[in-house]
Structure 1
Amino acid sequence: MTAITTNDTIETIKKELRNQTTVPYFGMGIFEATKTKEGEQMPYDSDSMILMMNNGRAMSDRLMFEYPRAAMHLEQRRGVDYIQQMMNWIYTKEFNPTQLHKALINMQPRYIIDTNRDGKVQELLAYEPHTLIVGKSRILDNDYRYEIFEWDLENKKYFQVDEEALDDAQKILFKPMGTPLPEPSFVISDADYVDWLTEAMGGFAVPSVLKTYRKTKKYLFLGTAFDRDTDRMVANELTIDLEGGYFVKGGELTKREEKFLEKHNIELVNMSLEEFTKAFV
Structure 2
Amino acid sequence: MPPDLYDTLQAGLADGSIVPYLGPGVLADVTQVDSAVRIPADSDSLILAMNDGRPMAPKLMYEFPRAAMNIELKRGRSAVTRFLTRTYGETAWTRGAVHEWLKALAPRYVVDINRDTQLQDSYAHTPHNLIVGIARMAGTAFRYKLYRWDGSAYHPTEALDLALPILFKPMGTPQPEASYIASDADYVDYITELMGGFAIPPQLKALRAGKRYLLMGLRLNRDTERMVMADIVYNAGTPTGWILLPDANAKERRFCQKLGLQIIDSDIFTFIAGTQTARPALAQVHPC
State the TM bucket, normalised to the shorter chain. Answer: over 0.9
Please point out which of 259, 273, 280 is paired with 1:278. 273
Please point out which of 178, 184, 189 is paired with 1:195. 189
1:91 aligns with 2:88: yes
1:235 aligns with 2:229: yes
Q: CA deviation at 1:191?
A: 0.6
- Could you tell me the TM-score, scaled by structure 2's length? 0.91
Contact 2:130 2:147 in 1 (8 A): yes
Provide the C-alpha distance between the structure 2 equivalents of 1:131 and 1:44, rounded to a whole number of angstroms: 24
1:260 aligns with 2:255: yes
Q: CA deviation at 1:257?
A: 1.3
Task: Give me the CA root mean square deviation.
Answer: 1.3
Extract unaligned runs of 5+ from structure 1. none
Please point out which of 133, 136, 154 is paired with 1:135. 133
Contact 2:129 2:161 in 1 (8 A): no
Task: State the SS of the aligned residue for 1:168.
Answer: coil
Q: CA deviation at 1:7?
A: 4.4
Superposition pairs of residues 1-281 of structure 1, within 5 angstroms: 5-37=1-33, 38-92=35-89, 93-153=91-151, 156-163=152-159, 166-243=160-237, 244-251=240-247, 253-281=248-276
Provide the C-alpha distance between the structure 1 equivalents of 2:121 and 2:3, rounded to a whole number of angstroms: 30
Provide the C-alpha distance between the structure 1 equivalents of 2:2 and 2:56, rounded to a whole number of angstroms: 41
* Partner amino acid, structure 2, of 1:235: M
Deviations for 1:169-207, whole angstroms, at most 9, x for unmatched residues? 411101111001001111110011001011111110000
- Could you tell me the TM-score, scaled by structure 1's length? 0.93
Q: CA deviation at 1:50?
A: 0.8
Task: State the SS of the aligned residue for 2:107.
Answer: coil
Provide the C-alpha distance between the structure 2 equivalents of 1:137 and 1:267, rounded to a whole number of angstroms: 32
Off by >2 Å, runs of 4+ in structure 1: 5-8
Distance change >3 Å, CA 231–CA 60, structure 1 → 2: same
Q: Percent identity?
A: 38
Extract unaligned runs of 5+ from structure 2. 277-288
